[in-house]
């Protein structure tokens, strides 16, 4: 498994997987749907899958003395590591917005989603959608990436729309509140999202293993 993960980083990964981590900086943009940062982080991982397909990574790995299921686990591990790096960057920038820049005028008057633990919760939900819809969809064929990515893109748009709409509904304005008055509730939402992310990823990985086992290469 360790060797497979090393293969992911050294041979299969596209540099764009690392470069698109810069997308986390969108967390700092006022008047912008900052959840798109999660989409761009996933977009970098998508490029790695595309690169892996073009360099025959699947066939190369199938020839190695490894279990096919370990190959799937390594792909998920690579994806989760990139997502974890992206999440840490988003979380650090969220902390900066909620503390050092909490009184900054552009953020105080920001009409769109603020950087709060709820934002981080939605970041995780977008990551979970990527792991289930894109990575899981990829392992149906181990070469088709267009439809799985389109499905993930639609899911992302719906999640962004939901995240931007919810705080405007009666009684839910605290979701948008960067002042930290209902920080406990916001962290509870984040904790729930961590659970959803973990369950969705584990479930998607198990399903992908079964799908990949059935494929003729």
Partner 1 sequence: MSILEVQGLTKRYPSFLLDGVTFSMEQGRVMGLIGRNGAGKTTTLKSIFNLVHPDGGAVRIFGLEMPRDERAIKQRIGYAGGAVDFYSRKKLSQIVDVTKRFYDDWDDDACRKYLDAFSLDKNKTPRELSEGMRVKFSLTLALSHRAELLILDEPTSGLDPVSRAELLDAFLFLKKKGVSILFSTHITTDLEKCADDITYIARGKLIASEPLASFMGTNAKAGHGETLEEIMVHYEKESLYEKLADERV
216 binding partner 1? (CB under 8 A): yes
In this structure, are residues 82 and 135 in contact, taking their beta carbons and an 8 Å threshold? no
Return the closest-CA partner of residue 35 out of 146, 116, 103. Answer: 116
59 binding partner 1? (CB under 8 A): yes
When binding is defined by CB under 8 A, the residue of 64, 111, 191, 192 that contacts partner 1 is 64
Q: 65 or 146, CB closer to partner 1?
A: 65
109 binding partner 1? (CB under 8 A): no
Q: 1 or 158, CB closer to partner 1?
A: 1
Return the closest-CA partner of residue 50 out of 87, 15, 82, 85. Answer: 15
Residues 6+ apart with CB under 8 A from 97: 27, 28, 107, 114, 115, 178
The residue with tokens 């909620």 is 98
19 binding partner 1? (CB under 8 A): no
Q: How far is the CB of 162 from partner 1 (least distance, A)?
A: 40
Return the closest-CA partner of residue 130 out of 34, 47, 192. Answer: 47
1 binding partner 1? (CB under 8 A): no
Q: How far is the CB of 213 from partner 1 (least distance, A)?
A: 9
Alpha-carbon distance of 130 to 155, in angstroms, equals 9
Q: CA angle, 41 as apex, 168 and 91 as ends, to 5°? A: 60
The window from 1-9, 20-28, 78-86, 204-212 that contacts partner 1 (CB under 8 A) reads 1-9
55 binding partner 1? (CB under 8 A): yes
Where on the chain is the footprint of partner 1 (CB under 8 A)?
Answer: 3, 6-7, 10-12, 55-57, 59-60, 62-67, 214, 216-217
């Amino acid at each position: 498994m360790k060797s497979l993960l090393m293969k992911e980083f050294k041979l299969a990964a596209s540099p764009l997987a690392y470069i698109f981590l810069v997308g986390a900086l969108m967390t700092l943009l006022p008047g912008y749907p900052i959840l798109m940062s999660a989409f761009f982080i996933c977009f970098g991982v998508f490029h790695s899958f595309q690169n892996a397909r073009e360099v025959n990574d699947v066939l190369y790995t199938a020839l190695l003395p490894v279990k096919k299921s370990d190959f799937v686990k390594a792909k998920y591990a690579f994806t989760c590591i990139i997502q974890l790096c992206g999440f840490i960057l988003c979380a650090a920038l969220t902390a900066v917005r909620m503390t050092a820049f909490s009184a900054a005028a552009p953020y105080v008057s920001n009409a769109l989603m603020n950087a709060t633990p709820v934002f981080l919760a939605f970041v995780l939900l977008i990551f979970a959608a990527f792991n289930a819809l894109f990575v899981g969809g990829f392992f149906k064929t181990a070469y088709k990436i267009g439809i799985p990515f389109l499905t993930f893109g639609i899911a992302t748009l719906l999640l962004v729309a939901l995240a931007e709409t919810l705080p405007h509904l009666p009684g839910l304005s605290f979701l948008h509140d960067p002042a930290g008055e209902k920080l406990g509730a916001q962290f509870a939402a984040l904790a729930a999202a961590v659970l959803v992310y973990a369950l969705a990823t584990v479930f998607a990985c198990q399903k992908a293993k079964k799908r990949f086992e059935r494929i003729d290469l």
